[in-house]
Homo-oligomer: A and B are copies of this chain.
Amino acid sequence: MIKQLMEKIDKTKAPICVGLDPMLSYIPEHVTRKSFEQFGETLEGAADAIWQFNREIIDCVYDLIPSVKPQIAMYEQFGLEGLKVYKKTVDYCHGKGLLVIGDAKRGDIGSTSAAYATGHLGKVQVGSKVYSGFDTDFLTVNPYLGTDGVKPFVDVCRKEDKGLFVLVKTSNPSSGEFQDQLIEGRPLYELVAEKVVQWGDEAMDGDYSDVGAVVGATYPEMSRVLRKLMPHTYFLVPGYGAQGGTAEDLKYCFNADGFGAVVNSSRGIIAAYKKEAYQRFGPEHFGDASRQAVKDMVEDINRVR
């Protein structure tokens, strides 16, 4: 699967994913109003507004990018109606030729992780038939439970040619609280990185492994070390843009081959029309603002790649 992502990155020259993390507050009033007129101020109405918003953005950017990263929490907050739109968004993106990174940060004990892996990446057996649940191409995974919590995800990746990004060093302010704690002189995230390399050895797909790592853009010195520790691991890099990470901060995430990292931006793209730089588009043309923001992001990142 990572090979497919690299091919799409190569073709678009865009080592990025667009974070489809809609908040109602990001959605222009004319979109929300129309959905509420049709469905009322209900969960269905909110879900419809999110769907209309996502679809317009996808239509405006899909030819420029290799992948999207919907954050499932933003859908889960609306319960079942929200999750229906998550699924609809995944399917719509696939129809547009995009790879989908499900940002779900799942992780549990063995048999439970196996169920998550089945639901998000694999196929579930029902009598003599098999079905896909959410059918994303990649999934983010939390490593706190150790190898037996991660291995079931790796197994499904090998079987179905899918991919993972395991949390190593996250982009948030308090990520260091546990992740940076020193164990025999080395931070915990380096230990996690070593395990990610081990897990990934079994799932090589060309020069890189289908088991990738989440490495925040907000901690560039750490990404430099992690890049060396994990030469064949693809990085999913959150934190660019709204969270404060700059292109300069990303340079260590890439390998000399220009590959090795896929950088996410969510708010900076999907709510671009609200930023001063793109206000000229106006809320009516929020999709065009997102398109311009993608172009600018790609240009910015390719400077350091």
Q: Which residues of A contact B (CB under 8 A)?
A: 21, 24, 32, 36, 41-43, 45-46, 71, 73-74, 76-80, 82-84, 87, 105-110, 112-113, 115-116, 118-120, 124-129, 131-134, 142-149, 167, 170-179, 181-184, 188, 191-192, 195, 238
- CB-based nearest B residue for A174: B146
Given contact pairs A43-B126, A119-B73, A126-B45, A79 touches B172 in the complex (Cβ within 8 A): no
- 27 CB < 8 A contacts A-B: A24-B126, A41-B127, A42-B129, A43-B126, A43-B133, A46-B126, A73-B108, A73-B112, A73-B119, A74-B115, A76-B116, A76-B119, A76-B133, A77-B116, A77-B119, A77-B124, A77-B133, A78-B133, A79-B131, A83-B83, A105-B107, A143-B144, A146-B179, A147-B174, A177-B195, A178-B192, A183-B183
> Is B115 a contact of A76 with CB atoms below 8 Å?
yes
Set B120, B126, B142: member contacting A42, Cβ < 8 A: B126
Given contact pairs A146-B178, A183-B181, A132 touches B172 in the complex (Cβ within 8 A): no
Q: How far is the CA of A238 from the CA of B108 in the complex (A)?
A: 12
A68 to chain B, nearest CB (A): 16
So how many copies of this chain end up in the complex?
2
B residues in contact with A174, CB < 8 Å: 145-149
Q: How far is the CA of A172 from the CA of B146 in the complex (A)?
A: 9
Which of A112, A116, A124, A144 has the most CB atoms of chain B within a 10 A radius of its CB?
Answer: A144
Q: How far is the CA of A178 from the CA of B76 in the complex (A)?
A: 29
B residues in contact with A82, CB < 8 Å: 119, 133
Which of A126, A173, A238 has the most CB atoms of chain B within a 10 A radius of its CB?
Answer: A126
Q: How far is the CA of A42 from the CA of B177 in the complex (A)?
A: 45
8 tightest Cβ-Cβ pairs between the two chains A and B: A79-B133, A146-B177, A41-B127, A146-B174, A77-B119, A109-B172, A73-B115, A76-B119
Set B106, B179, B183: member contacting A73, Cβ < 8 A: B106
Given contact pairs A77-B118, A133-B76, A71 touches B127 in the complex (Cβ within 8 A): no
> Is A144 a contact of B144 with CB atoms below 8 Å?
yes
